[in-house]
């Protein structure tokens, strides 16, 4: 078994969810490293793209923002925001997109808040806002969410619903007029959470080595079904090696 950090484990867990042939939409930070890891490990035909319009960037160096000039070098197409989001909303290409997001709060249906804590007009804490997260969450069939597993983050009700998950559960997206699907997986520092096929409520899929399902429940405001949870396979030596040598050799993110 490889020696690995929690952050590396999370990255690999996300990377494993990206199928070969996917068009991976990623933001800054760990999601970008996960997309790169997938491409280097098991999804060589996946395409990394950014909301800024860069398609299939080489990423010889790790970008620190989706508008970093490093995303513009040696791409298939350097486009614009109009193009990038249209690929997600487009009925042919959108179906191939895997979106990766993060947030400050998440509820049991995978709805995300990245805007404010507290009242919208008198916020206790202001965050960056949606960026492209609401867009990708609205459009695509396949999305992954990175979260820190804390009670104040896994909440009964998000203070502001920035990016749509499964909304109010079964049939919620259809009722609102959304065509894509809610999130597939939530990848945290303790577990991988999935969503029940029928009810669309969050469930525990995998707990990390050394973490109990009970500990996970303690770190959430709402309860989830833990009955089918299994322990996650730790990263392999090869996965960790590729992550360190090919994806973030300068240690800028991991």
Partner 1 sequence: MTVKSEKLMALSSAIETFVTDGCHLSIGGFTVNRNPMGAVYEIIRQGRKKIHLYAHSNGQGVDELVGAGCVEKIEIAYAGNGRFAPTCIRFKRAVQNRSILVEDYSNYQMTLRFQAGAMGIPFLPTRSSLGTDIINKWGFSKKIRQEDPRIPDEKLIVGENPFKGWTDTKALVFVPAINPDVTIIHVQQADEHGTARIQGLTMADVEQAKAAKHLIVTCEELVSSDEMKSKPDTNQIPHFCVDAVVHLPWGAYPTACYNNYDYDPIFFNDYKIFASDDTLYQNYLDKFIHGTKNHQEFLDLIGGKRLQNIKADPRTGYAINLDRK
- What is the set of active-site residues? 51
Contact assessment for residue 39 and residue 242, using Cβ atoms and an 8 Å cutoff: no
Which residue's CB is nearer to partner 1, number 115 or number 234?
Answer: 115
Q: CB-based burial of residue 20 (10 Å sphere; 0-12 exposed, 13-18 middle, 19+ buried)? A: exposed
Q: C-beta of 205: minimal distance to partner 1 in Å?
A: 25
Specify the 3-state DSSP secondary structure of 212: coil
Residue 236 DSSP one-character state: P
Q: C-beta of 184: minimal distance to partner 1 in Å?
A: 18
Specify the 3-state DSSP secondary structure of 201: coil
Residue given tokens 């494993």 in the structure block: 16
Q: C-beta of 110: minimal distance to partner 1 in Å?
A: 12
Contacts of residues 66-71 at CB distance under 8 Å and 24 or more positions apart, as own/partner, are 66/26, 66/27, 66/28
Which residue's CB is nearer to partner 1, number 5 or number 179?
Answer: 179
Dihedral sign (CA 164, 170, 175, 181): positive
**Quick one: which H or E segment has residue 10?**
helix 6-15
Give the separation between CA 149 and CA 152, rounded to whole angstroms: 9
Give the separation between CA 131 and CA 123, rounded to whole angstroms: 18
How far CA 108 is from CA of 31, 136, 169, 202, in Å, comes to 22, 19, 9, 5
Which residue's CB is nearer to partner 1, number 2 or number 65?
Answer: 65
Which residue's CB is nearer to partner 1, number 89 or number 236?
Answer: 89
Q: C-beta of 30: minimal distance to partner 1 in Å?
A: 11
Q: C-beta of 103: minimal distance to partner 1 in Å?
A: 12
Which residue's CB is nearer to partner 1, number 125 or number 223?
Answer: 125
């Amino acid at each position: 078994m490889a020696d690995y950090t929690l952050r590396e484990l999370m990255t690999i867990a996300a990377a494993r969810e990206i199928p070969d042939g996917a068009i991976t939409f990623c933001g800054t930070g760990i999601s970008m490293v996960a997309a790169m890891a997938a491409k280097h490990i098991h999804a060589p035909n996946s395409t990394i793209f950014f909301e800024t319009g860069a398609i299939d960037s080489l990423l010889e160096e790790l970008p620190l923002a989706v508008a970093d000039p490093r995303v513009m070098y040696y791409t298939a197409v350097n486009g614009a925001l109009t193009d990038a989001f249209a690929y997600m909303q487009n009925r042919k290409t959108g179906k191939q997109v895997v979106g990766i997001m993060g947030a400050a709060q998440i509820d049991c249906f995978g709805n995300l808040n990245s805007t404010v804590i507290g009242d919208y007009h008198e916020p206790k804490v202001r965050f960056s806002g949606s960026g492209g997260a609401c867009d990708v969450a609205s459009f695509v069939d396949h999305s992954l969410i990175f979260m820190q597993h804390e009670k104040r983050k896994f909440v009964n009700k998000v203070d502001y619903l920035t990016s749509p998950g499964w909304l109010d559960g079964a049939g919620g997206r259809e009722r609102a007029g959304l065509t894509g699907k809610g999130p597939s997986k939530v990848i945290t520092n303790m577990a991988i959470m999935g969503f029940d096929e029928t009810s669309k409520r969050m469930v525990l899929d995998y707990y990390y080595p050394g973490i109990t399902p009970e500990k996970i429940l303690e770190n959430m405001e709402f309860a989830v079904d833990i009955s089918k949870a299994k322990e996650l396979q730790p990263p392999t030596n090869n996965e960790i090696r590729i992550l360190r040598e090919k994806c973030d050799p300068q240690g800028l993110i991991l």
